[in-house]
Chains A and B, each alone.
Chain A
Amino acid sequence: MKKGLWFLFLLALALAQSPLEKLKAALDRLRGPAHEGVYLLRVERPGLEKVYRLKVYTDVERAHFRVLEPKGEAGLAYLSLGQDLYLYDPRLGRTLRLPPSARGERFLGSDLTYQDLMGRDLERLFEVSEAEGTLVLTPRPGAPTPYGKVEVYLKEGFLERVLYFDQRGQAVRELLLKGYQALSGGVLPREMELKDLLRPGYRTLVQILEVRAGPVPERCFTPLYLERGC
């Protein structure tokens, strides 16, 4: 009996995840498996709404976004390769390499940044601890983040809500993730909602309209194919 209890205790220890491991696992699930799909991006402002349809190719580490609609911006394409970010603007007819700082910029004028879509800053820049089932992230010394604290709410290991606080303890941004769907090789949230808590009426919604899990052609992740499409 005593031996059995010890065995269970050691098994529980081995299976128990640290807060950082929990965060890593949740982020892995957030990006889903390699897939291509069509996303709907709805940018809401007081008295104004703009809707984009995007074609997305991603292998989790890298991502290629192409604007399909509205027609005025169709053809605009972004390629995220680790820290490198490329933009193809059909009006210029050129592919531009953006500086790393652009990863923190707003994506298509929405409340989302490239980091929200592709990055793993949460595990890279923050110390992770756990309090009452919530992951509490505090910036590492000198970490390049303007936030004072981030709270990550998990539900059954899936990332459900991320709350960003300024350095005065006030919540400034909220990211909500809903409707995780199982795909071959992983899961992917069907909806992502980002609210600017400082400016009422500023909200961005991302909905996955179509998705096909599976390998994505390598050419999709080369800057050359930003212009041609892949």
Chain B
Amino acid sequence: MTLLRLAWRNVWRQRRRTLLLSLVVVYVTVAVLFMLGFLDGYGESLVESYAAYVEAPVVVAPRAFFEDPDLENGFKSPFQVDHPKVLAQSPRLSLPALLRSPYRSLGGTLLGVDPEGERALSRVPAKVVEGRWLSDPGEMVLGQRLAERLDVRVGERLLVETGKGALGLTVVGLVRSGVSNVDFYGAYAHLSDARALSGIWATHLALKVPKGQEERVARDLNGRLPPGLEARGVWDLMGPIRADYEANRLFFFPLLGLFLLLAALAVVSTAYVSVRERLREFAVAEALGLTPRRLAGQVALEAAFASGLGFLLGLLLGYALLWYTSTHDVFGPLMRLSVELLPEAGLAEHLYTALRPGYALFAFLVVLFSALLALLFPGRLLLRMEASRYLKEA
């Protein structure tokens, strides 16, 4: 207890030094919290986009279709799953198609959907900004940006050609979802039209399951499905953007570790200078009965206090920043630019940071590192100190 009080007093003897040390830790704590919140927010935004707009929480398809998404590998006959966690299910037929207006032709993927089934499964039907969602065969709904590129308007006919045939479908609605894949490439038609153009029942079955249970339900289904069929959770349906996200995580963690280490080194180097300046004082303390080990412990405590103060202030500022960015669309302009640059990535136009208490534990490592390093370096200096020499000098 005496040691604690002594360390605490010493921290405040050099207020300017303590303040500078704390600022380094504040900066690192805020940076760590923000980077973790941003990364998790980005991941959550991707999962949300793919689960609710681009794909589905869980998809069941013949294994061959996942390996080679050719129509020949789709479902030839109707299929349904029976699982207590499945809230809704609807067949979809995804087929490569050429979309042709009088002005332009664009290749893309036509998604044949059951209009009512899709309402229960996806948020796309609710995002129609002009016209209406599909109701009958002969109709189609387009992403707003795709419609702009084709220069086609609601009420006009669009020529849809596939390897097996062609149909003239009337555009009845335009969708603006804020998810790049949907707005730039979304082309939705009635399932019966897609079947007429492909000759198969569906390419996959989309399932809605409670949020956060996608991977578990997919694993569970894989134990029950007939041979040759496979269930995949949204995380496995994300394609190349998942690799990008995982690469970012892999890159972020060593970077955060380096941040923490540098902050701890800054604390320790200052503590080292402080110890060197106070060697005579420590010699007197040793002469009064304080063992070198306890002196080293005192120095470690001083480092921990200084960084702890910064940590607390950093937590306050960091979480305030995370709260603000998790409730306000601060990154909207940045995300909209990313969406324009990478329309095929499935990015959302909005990104809100995540806010989790666990980030504080990661940031606390800086305090821990500082104390440990203070034991290692300035502490060792004290352990090797010849007290008699400094007392003589006094």
Contact = CB atoms under 8 A, between A and B. Distances in A.
> Does A associate with B in a complex?
yes
Interface of A: 99-101, 104-105, 139, 141-148, 164, 166-168, 172-173, 198
Contact of B98 (A101, A141, A164, A167): A101
Contact of B161 (A104, A147, A172): A104
Contact of B165 (A100, A104, A105, A141): A100
Interface of A is mostly: loop
A173 B101 CA distance: 13
Contacts of B157: 139, 145-146, 148, 167
Nearest to A83: B165
B103 A198 contact: yes
Nearest to B100: A146
Q: Which of B157, B162, B164, B169 has the most CB atoms of chain A within a 10 A radius of its CB?
A: B157
B168 A145 contact: yes
Contact of B159 (A99, A145, A172, A198): A145
A172 B169 CA distance: 20
A198 B159 CA distance: 19
Given A100-B165, A104-B105, 5 more contacts: A99-B162, A104-B159, A144-B159, A145-B159, A146-B101
Nearest to B98: A101
By Cβ-Cβ distance, the 8 closest A-B pairs, closest first, are: A101-B161, A144-B166, A166-B102, A99-B163, A101-B98, A146-B159, A167-B156, A146-B102
Contact of A164 (B102, B165, B169): B102
B150 to A, nearest CB: 9
Contacts of B218: none
B192 to A, nearest CB: 12
A198 B151 CA distance: 13
A61 to B, nearest CB: 20
Interface in B283-321: none
B198 to A, nearest CB: 13
B348 interface: no
A125 B2 CA distance: 96
B138 A142 contact: yes
Contacts, number: 61
A10 B342 CA distance: 69
B135 to A, nearest CB: 16
Interface in B95-131: 97-98, 100-103, 105
B160 interface: yes
A73 B247 CA distance: 44
B93 interface: no
Interface of B: 97-98, 100-103, 105, 138, 156-169
Given A142-B138, A145-B168, A146-B157, A104 B162 contact: no
Contact of B162 (A101, A105, A173): A101
B163 A166 contact: no
B100 A172 contact: no
Contacts of A141: 138
A2 B162 CA distance: 60
A166 B161 contact: no
Contacts of B165: 100, 144
Q: Which of A139, A164, A166, A172 has the most CB atoms of chain B within a 10 A radius of its CB?
A: A166
A144 B160 contact: yes
Q: Which of A100, A146, A147, A168 has the most CB atoms of chain B within a 10 A radius of its CB?
A: A146
Nearest to B150: A146
Nearest to A97: B163
Nearest to B104: A146
A34 B158 CA distance: 35
Contact of A101 (B102, B103, B166, B169): B166
B105 to A, nearest CB: 7
Contacts of A173: 102
Given A100-B163, A101-B162, A145-B159, A139 B168 contact: yes
Contact of B168 (A144, A172, A198): A144
A100 B168 contact: no
A43 B124 CA distance: 43
B117 to A, nearest CB: 23
Contacts of B169: 142
Contacts of A164: 102
9 contacts: A101-B97, A101-B98, A142-B168, A144-B161, A146-B158, A148-B157, A164-B102, A168-B156, A172-B102
Contacts of A167: 102, 156-157
Contacts of B167: 142, 144
Nearest to B155: A167
Contact of A166 (B98, B103, B105, B166): B103
A215 to B, nearest CB: 33
B164 A100 contact: yes
A142 B136 CA distance: 13
A91 B161 CA distance: 28
Nearest to A164: B102
Contact of B166 (A100, A168, A172): A100
Contacts of B159: 104, 144-146
A98 B342 CA distance: 30
Q: Which of B97, B138, B160, B166 has the most CB atoms of chain A within a 10 A radius of its CB?
A: B166
Contacts of B102: 146-148, 164, 166-167, 172-173
Contacts of B168: 139, 142-146
